[in-house]
Amino acid sequence: MTEDTDGLKRGRGRPPKTQTSPPPPKRRTRRRFGHLRRLPSGMWQAKYPGPDGKFHTAPHTFKGKGVAEQWLVDKESEIGRGEWRAPQRGKETVGVWADRWMASKVNLKPGTKADYEKRLRVYVIPRFGDTSIAKITRTDIQAWVQELIGQGYSASTVRHAIGTLSRILNEAVATGTLVANPCQRISLPRLSKGAVKPLTLEQIKALANAIEHPVIKPAGNGARPVGRSHFPEYSLLIRFTVFTGLRAGEVAGLKRKAVDLDKGEVRITETLSEVRGHLYTVPPKTYQSRSVPLPKFLVRELREHLATLDDDPDGYVFRAPTGTPLRWQNFYNHYFKPAVRQAGLPESTRFHDLRHTFAAILIDQGAHPRAMMERLGHSSINVTLGTYGHLLPGLDEELTRKLDAIWE
């Protein structure tokens, strides 16, 4: 045995080492969602991008990196399911969200804006104004419905109040602050929709005569009343509304340039609205202009009436006795309602009933619901049928009689 072999046996030598390449360096992979950071304390901090375009930090730190990674995975899945909530904005109160929501409504008509502001001021803010928006539950809203009903508010008022709150909560859902709108599937009181009761021809004549020749009561101190006692333009206004079906704001906002007596029609492009003492010219209710044909007798009467006015194309057709634009609430309280009582009509008679009377006349004359929809300016035929459907059975009976007559 050689010396080298003896040395190996005794452990004094080592076999020659084989040369191997060093392991490749570990590649750092970029995280697909969120960021992790190890703090000086050894704890791990997680951040992630929210649907609102901002980065959000986890509400607590994690002992291990794996736990922090799993938290990010869960948060990504939550966003994917649409269940994510913005952690900070959920702490904001309903009052803050209501202000933000109203500020975003730049295209509202003045009257609609005033209605929303009133509902917020009277109903929503007193009940939920100081409540964090994320803390409102369906149970809270259902209890609020019962409170409003118990306070004697009508079904329509309750529905409007809940609807306003629901619109605010929808904004919170859209921004990811809330998972869902708690106003959904709320049990609301049913609307008691009474049947439309049109006026008869005799009642229309009595109303037009009463508003043209009002009985003016002496003043309380015995002084004689001062002012006009004859209002033929208001008598014409009653007949005009009954046989065109225009809304109150459309009648008040009708300008001379919108009347084409040669064609026998009026063009409805705007309405006059009074909000808190200020007059506004706004588009029609459905934001769609329309032409309404005129019966020949109205063409004659309008021609005579316009001859008494100035030639300004932007002048209003129906005006106050002073020549100023017609302020509807003043007209309604001081002219229309006294004429209703003087004519012996039911106290519940409203100006809008003149529009209903027009619809009843169309139905009685066999008008197609589509033609009614266009003349009345409804947004859809469903609105027409839903409002005046109970008047249509008589038309159906007439159709059946004509079918029978054809066979006979």
Residues 126 and 248 in one domain: no
Q: How far apart are the first and last CA of the chain?
A: 138
Same domain assignment for residues 291 and 207 = yes
pLDDT in tens, 42-73: 999 999 988 777 888 888 899 899 999 998 99
Does one domain contain both 47 and 98?
no
Residue 1 domain flag:
no
Together in a domain, 257 and 335: yes
Q: Give domain status of residue 260, yes or no.
A: yes
Residue 212: per-residue pLDDT:
94
Quote the pLDDT of residue 220. 52
Q: Would you say residue 347 lies in a domain?
A: yes
Taking Cα atoms as reference points, which of 258, 275, 274 lies closest to residue 266? 258
What pLDDT is recorded for position 305? 96
| CATH number reported for the structural domain that contains residue 345 in this entry | 1.10.443.10
Q: What is the pLDDT of residues 212-265, one digit of tens each?
A: 999 876 555 444 444 678 899 999 999 999 999 898 999 999 999 999 999 999
pLDDT of res. 60: 85
State both tokens at 315.
Answer: 């002048």
Long-range contacts of 104-108 (CB under 8 A, 24+ apart): 104/171
- Looking at the domain assignment, is residue 127 inside a domain? yes
160 & 263 share domain: no
pTM (two decimals): 0.64
In whole angstroms, give the CA distance from residue 67 to residue 49. Answer: 19
Within-domain flag for 308: yes
The answer on 100 and 75 residing in a single domain is: no
Do 146 and 287 lie in one domain? The reply is: no
Confirm whether 360 is domain-assigned: yes
DSSP 122: I
- pLDDT score, position 51: 79
- Do 122 and 252 share a domain, yes or no? no
Q: Are residues 253 and 382 in the same domain?
A: yes
The total number of structural domains that make up the chain: 3
pLDDT of 225 reads 47
Per-residue pLDDT of the chain (408 residues; tens, 9 = 90+): 444 555 545 555 565 555 566 655 544 446 678 889 999 999 999 999 887 778 888 888 998 999 999 989 988 888 887 667 666 666 889 999 999 999 988 888 888 889 999 999 999 999 999 999 888 999 999 999 999 999 989 899 999 999 999 999 998 888 777 878 999 889 999 877 666 778 899 999 999 999 999 987 655 544 444 467 889 999 999 999 999 989 899 999 999 999 999 999 999 999 898 888 888 888 887 778 889 999 999 999 999 999 999 999 999 999 998 899 999 989 999 999 999 999 999 998 999 889 888 888 887 777 777 877 888 887 676 666 666 665 655 555 666 776 777 776
In a domain, 181, yes or no: no
Instruction: Report which of 199, 213, 243 is spatially closest to residue 346, judged by C-alpha positions.
Output: 199
* Bridge partner list, 325: 319
256 and 377 together in one domain? yes
Distant-in-sequence, close-in-space partners of 243: CB < 8 Å, separation ≥ 6: 294, 295, 298, 358, 361
Residue 45 near residue 16, CB atoms below 8 Å: no
Predicted pLDDT of residue 25: 53
Q: Angle formed by the axes of helices 155-174 and 94-104, to 10°?
A: 90
Residue 263 lies in a domain: yes
- Are 141 and 165 a contacting pair, CB within 8 Å? yes
Residue 106: domain span: 90-174
pLDDT of residue 15: 57
> Of 345, 337, 399, nearest to 368 (Cα)?
399
From residue 316, how far is each of 136, 188, 249 by CA, in Å? 49, 42, 12
Identity of the amino acid at 190: R
pLDDT score, position 302: 96
Question: Tell me, what's the pLDDT at 30?
Answer: 60
**β-strands 271-275, 278-282: how paired?**
antiparallel
Element housing 147 (H / E)? helix 138-150
CATH of residue 150: 1.10.150.130
Is 145 in the same domain as 254? Answer: no
- The dihedral over CA atoms of 54, 58, 63, 65, expressed in degrees to the nearest 10, equals -40
Tell me, yes or no, whether 140 and 49 share the same domain: no
